[in-house]
Amino acid sequence: MAFCIECGREKPDSALKNGLCIRCQVNDAPSSAVSADFLQKGERGASIDARAAHVILTTSIDVPQREIDSIVSIVATEVALGMNIFRDIANNWRDFVGGRGNSAQKSLKEARTACLEELKREAAAIGADAVVAVDLDYNELSTSGSGGILFVAATGTAVKLAPETAI
């Protein structure tokens, strides 16, 4: 069994084409209208964004006080942000006089946040409850013109958590 990436409903693998169930393939309604219907039916039928909000991300190999039921897959996301000439000039000046490079820090935070949010969406799309062993990698790609590209990649292991037991 697999989940439709649009509506989140569980379907047999043979009923999905390119990750979509037949209903989502032919439905002309906006996805937000379809998702609202499924949001009322609980998390299993919720939209990917709604399910992604509940995905747990951790750099550890487990989720505290939760048991991992199964490994779903490795998930990875990448974000590339262009650094413009004005930010580069500000960063070069900051390097010369010293101090913190606020524009560079802002760009790093923006890229990291976007990458982790996308990692949650990737995990939710394949039906995972959490991503463990999350690793973030940062790099800068130089371009021939002025400015460079900030590249952030996040990887981790998407897992299904065992149901919580009442104590």
Query: Are 47 and 8 a contacting pair, CB within 8 Å?
Result: yes
Would you tell me the crossing angle of helices 102-125 and 85-97 to the nearest 10 degrees? 130
Residue 76 corresponds to which amino acid? A
pTM above 0.75, yes or no: no
Q: Please name the CATH architecture into which domain 55-167 falls.
A: 2-Layer Sandwich (3.30)
CATH 3.30.110.70 domain residues, the chain: 55-167
According to the per-residue pLDDT averaged within each range, which of 17-26, 30-39, 68-77, 158-167 is highest?
68-77
Task: Grade residue 40 by pLDDT with cuts at 50, 70 and 90.
Answer: very low
> Is pLDDT larger for residue 95 or for residue 32?
95
Residues 75-134: tens digit of each pLDDT: 999 998 876 655 555 555 555 565 566 777 887 888 899 999 999 999 999 999 999 999
